[in-house]
Amino acid sequence: MDSAGHGRYAFEEAFEDVVGGDPEWVEYAGRTDHQIALSMLNGSAEHLPALLDQLAERLAARKELIAAEGRVYPGVPETLAALHETDGVINSLLTGNLEANAAVKVGAFGLDRWLDFEAGAYGSDPHERRSDLVAVARERAAARYAQAPGGARCAAMPSEPTRVVLIGDTPLDVVAAREAGARAVAVATGFADLDALRESDPDALLQDLRDTDAALRAITST
């Protein structure tokens, strides 16, 4: 999804609130909110908690603007819905956004209906590298789906996740998948173009998610 720049605007407002002035330019694509904030603070953690707290408040205030000015990329709702209906598949988020920020962004477009937030991992979770979040998501999904409600094991799910597929739109997403031993599906709907994503060597590369069947094959292929 495209949040129409409101993530960056919220960061800039939060920085001004906490530190004062405008931050120097930093790279956003493929980086976690924690990493972005540290870059803005030149590596100092002194104001980090306050900056991240203020970031969440500023982004939440922009939810209606995100919905009005942003957009969902073609095929995303259809692919999420199809995966949601696929036995043995857990749909969640692995994102560099703080959990609260991720909920604001996907909630602005109603995408949260197909996502289990409690099985995901976020920029608000402890991490040094983006790939560290894959292990967090694995553990949460295993804990959440090992037992079905009422104590009986869920027949449609294994006792723990057997495969992880990371779908992303930057070369750094592909690197994170590689480092964590996950399948990497790259989609060229973000800041990176097809050539840059191809050079990162994902397991599957899609221009977009318009073709739901093709997307499902890329994601669920062994």
Which CATH number does the domain housing residue 190 bear?
3.40.50.1000
If asked whether residues 65 and 97 sit together in one domain, one would say no
If asked whether residues 157 and 54 sit together in one domain, one would say no
The packing angle between helices 212-220 and 76-84, to 10°, is 50
Please indicate, yes or no, if residue 1 is contained in any of the structural domains: no
If asked whether residues 150 and 180 sit together in one domain, one would say yes
Sign of the dihedral through C-alpha 79, 83, 84, 90: negative
If asked whether residues 52 and 93 sit together in one domain, one would say no
Domain that holds residue 192: 76-220
pLDDT in the model for residue 31: 85
Asked whether the predicted pLDDT for residue 70 surpasses 60, the reply is yes
Cα–Cα distance for residue pair 19/142, rounded to 1 Å: 40
pLDDT in the model for residue 150: 46
Give the residue-averaged pLDDT of 84-103.
Answer: 93
If asked whether residues 106 and 157 sit together in one domain, one would say yes
Asked whether the predicted pLDDT for residue 155 surpasses 70, the reply is no
If asked whether residues 51 and 106 sit together in one domain, one would say no
If asked whether residues 153 and 215 sit together in one domain, one would say yes
pLDDT tens profile 107-131:
999 999 999 999 999 989 988 888 8
If asked whether residues 153 and 90 sit together in one domain, one would say yes
Q: What is the mean pLDDT of the chain?
A: 89
Q: Are the C-beta atoms of residues 177 and 157 closer than 8 Å to each other? A: no
pLDDT in the model for residue 103: 96
Q: Tell me 130's DSSP state.
A: T
Asked whether the predicted pLDDT for residue 162 surpasses 80, the reply is no
If asked whether residues 132 and 43 sit together in one domain, one would say no
Cα–Cα distance for residue pair 219/222, rounded to 1 Å: 9
Cα–Cα distance for residue pair 200/178, rounded to 1 Å: 10
What's the domain count of the chain? 2
If asked whether residues 81 and 170 sit together in one domain, one would say yes
